[in-house]
Structure 1
Amino acid sequence: MTDVFTGRLTPRADGLHPPPLAPAYRSTALRSPRHAPIRMPSTTTEETGPVFGHDMIAPLDHDLTANFGSGGAIGEQVFVMGHLRDEGGRPIAGALIEVWQANAGGRYRHARDGYLAPLDPGFGGCGRCLTDDAGAYSFRTIRPGAYPWPNGGNDWRPAHIHFSVFGHAFGQRLVTQMYFEGDPHIALCPIVQSIPDPAAIDRLIARLDMGATVPFDARAYRFDITLRGLSATPFGAGA
C-alpha cells in the first residue's frame, strides 16, 4: 500500500515557536541542530489517530490534589480549564490532555530533582483528562512554586504546568507550558523569552477567571489551546 501525500495539515508557522538555538537559554547550544529543517507535506500517518477512549481515564486522573497518596496535597488549590481547538477554531473532542508540574514548593517528584524544597507526600504532580464534545477540559491542582535552574547563575523558572496534547492526529501533537497571569518571572525567564513573538508568549499565560472560581475553595485560571495555524499555542521547551 502506498501512502497518499495530501498535506492537509497546516504547516507550522515560522517565528512562532522557540528557535532550536537561543543563546540566553544555554543548554540549547549543545542540543540544537546545525542545519535548516526540511519541511515535508503531511501523510496519512500524521493525519490520522491516535484515538483515546474514556475507559482509559480513572475518576481522579483530572484531580492532582487527590490522585496521589491519601492525605491530600499541600498548597493553593486552583482549577485550570479551557478549550482545545484546531487551526480553524473548531473544538476538538475526545483529545487526551496530560499535565505534570512541580509541587507548591517548586519541586518535582523525580529522582533527578535535587532542589531543597521538600516533597509533598500527598502530591504526585501528574494528571490527565479527555476533552468533552465542546473541546473543554478541566483540572484541579496546586499552584506550583517557582524554582532555580542552572542556567545563568540566578535564573528562576516561573510557576508553570507542562501540557502534552494529542489532537485528531499525531501531526497535531503539542507539548507546551502554561504560566500564570501576573508572575514577574515570565519576563525574566530565558526559556520563555526564547519565543520570538510577544503575542505568542501571551498565549501561554493563563488568565484569572473569577466567574469559574469556587468561593472559599479554589481560584480558576483559563488556558485555551490552539493546535497549529497562525494563532497556535507555541511549543514549550525546558524544565
Structure 2
Amino acid sequence: MTGPFTGNLAPRAAGLHPPALSPAYRSTRLRSPAQAPIGFPSTATEEAGPTFGHDLIGALDADLTRNFGPGGAIGEQILVLGHLRDEECRPVPAALIEVWQANAGGRYRHKNDGYLAPLDPGFGGCGRCMTDAQGAFMFRTVRPGAYPWPNGGNDWRPAHIHFSVFGRAFGQRLITQMYFEGDPHIALCPIVQSIPDKSAIDRLTARLDMGATVPFDARAYRFDITLRGLNATPFEGPP
C-alpha cells in the first residue's frame, strides 16, 4: 500500500481477539464492560492515519542492546524481524513500530516492577523503527526472561515482547505481544489462553529463522504482523 488508505476497513473478526471478560485473567472481572460491543462501518476518521517520518528515528533506536547505556545489554542477543501487512496482505511501508520488554532476567525498567531480578544498567527495554518500502522491520535486542505476576498462586508470563503498531490508518492501530516458539508457559498463561482461536495464538508466536541468524552473534526470530482481516494479528490481552 503506497498511498493513503481508501475503502472501508474489514470488520474485526469475531472470535479472533480476546473477549473482554476472561475469568482466568482475574483483572478482567473488574474492568470488562457489562454490555456487548457495538459495531459500525469505518469512516474517513478511521481510514485516515498518523504520518511519521524516518527523520524521527535515531541511529540506535532499533538496537535495544545499545540504545540505553554504555557497555551494552546483558543476555542472549537476538534479532526480531518480519513484515507488516494490511488486511489484503499488501505491505505497509513507512509505518512506526514501537517495542518494549523485560530484560534477560524478566524485569522491566519501571518504578512499579518489584520483581527480584536485578536491573541491567545497559538495557532500557524500549525501541522503535519504521517499516521499509516492502513493509519489513527489524530490531536487535536480548531475549526477555519470564516473570511471575499476581494473578493466581503461581502464574508466570511467557517470555514476550510488546509491539505497538500505528499502520496507515487509525483503524489499523494494534498493540500486541510476541511470544517465542517452544515456550512451555504459553499453554499455561491465562492472558495468552484468553484468545479463543488457537491459530491466532500461533500467529503471536515467533519462529526461529536460521536464514537470518548472524553466525557467532545473534539468533533471529521471525514475527510477521497483519493488520485487520481474517488473518489479523490479535490484540494484546482482553481490552
* Range class of TM-score, shorter chain: over 0.9
Shift of 1:136: 0.1
Residues 174 and 235, structure 1, Cα contact 8 Å, conserved in 2: yes
Aligned counterpart, 2:60: 60
Residues 7 and 41, structure 1, Cα contact 8 Å, conserved in 2: no
Question: 1:173-192, aligned counterparts within 5 Å?
Answer: 173-192=173-192
- The runs of at least 4 consecutive aligned structure 1 residues that moved more than 2 Å come to none
Q: Percent identity at matched positions?
A: 81
One-letter amino acid matched to 1:105: G
Shift of 1:232: 0.2
Aligned counterpart, 2:41: 41
Aligned counterpart, 1:129: 129
Aligned counterpart, 1:204: 204
SS in structure 2 opposite 1:118?
coil
Q: Which runs of 5+ in 1 are unaligned?
A: 1-5
Q: CA RMSD in A?
A: 1.0
TM-score by length of 1: 0.96
Question: Distance in 2 between the 1:217 and 1:71 partners?
Answer: 16
SS in structure 1 opposite 2:178?
strand
Question: Distance in 2 between the 1:129 and 1:50 partners?
Answer: 15
Question: Distance in 2 between the 1:236 and 1:112 partners?
Answer: 20
Q: Which runs of 5+ in 2 are unaligned?
A: 1-5
Residues 194 and 237, structure 2, Cα contact 8 Å, conserved in 1: no
Deviations 1:82-132 (A, max 9, x none): 000001000000000000000000000000000000000000000000000
Shift of 1:38: 0.7
Shift of 1:45: 1.2
Question: Distance in 2 between the 1:200 and 1:117 partners?
Answer: 31
Equivalenced residue count is 233
Question: Distance in 1 between the 2:237 and 2:8 partners?
Answer: 26
Shift of 1:43: 1.4
Aligned counterpart, 1:214: 214
TM-score by length of 2: 0.96
Question: Distance in 2 between the 1:19 and 1:56 partners?
Answer: 36
Aligned counterpart, 1:120: 120
One-letter amino acid matched to 1:193: Q
SS in structure 1 opposite 2:184?
coil
